[in-house]
Amino acid sequence: ARTSTTLLADTKIVAVMQCYDKKDENGRDGTLIDYFLGAKDLFNHIKDRLNLDESYRPEVWEISHGYPDQEVSGRENVVNILKGIKAGTRPALQRLELRICKGGCMGG
């Protein structure tokens, strides 16, 4: 992360992510991000540069250790389940997927 006192003043920081709303958090914690790019935008840019036609579908790859034992979305739900685990009123889970946005990023 870069702050206003960084020695590398000419360096640009680019964030590539799924969540477009993350850009609204820029600067809150002292981190300054110069450019935001959605993952789909990056893929489309690469596809255009490689002259791939519209029918091209990328190979899907994933590193995973299995599906989560439970998925929780929405700020209140996430906070409640974490409090329950910490208090011991909910069983510990091996894999728990938490998403602050209700329904996940962009509703899915």
Dump pLDDT digits (tens) for 12-36: 777 777 776 777 777 777 777 888 8
Which pTM was predicted?
0.41
Amino acid in position 51: N
77, with CB counted inside 10 A (0-12, 13-18, 19+), is middle
Tens of pLDDT, residues 32-72: 788 888 777 887 888 888 887 777 666 655 555 555 577 78
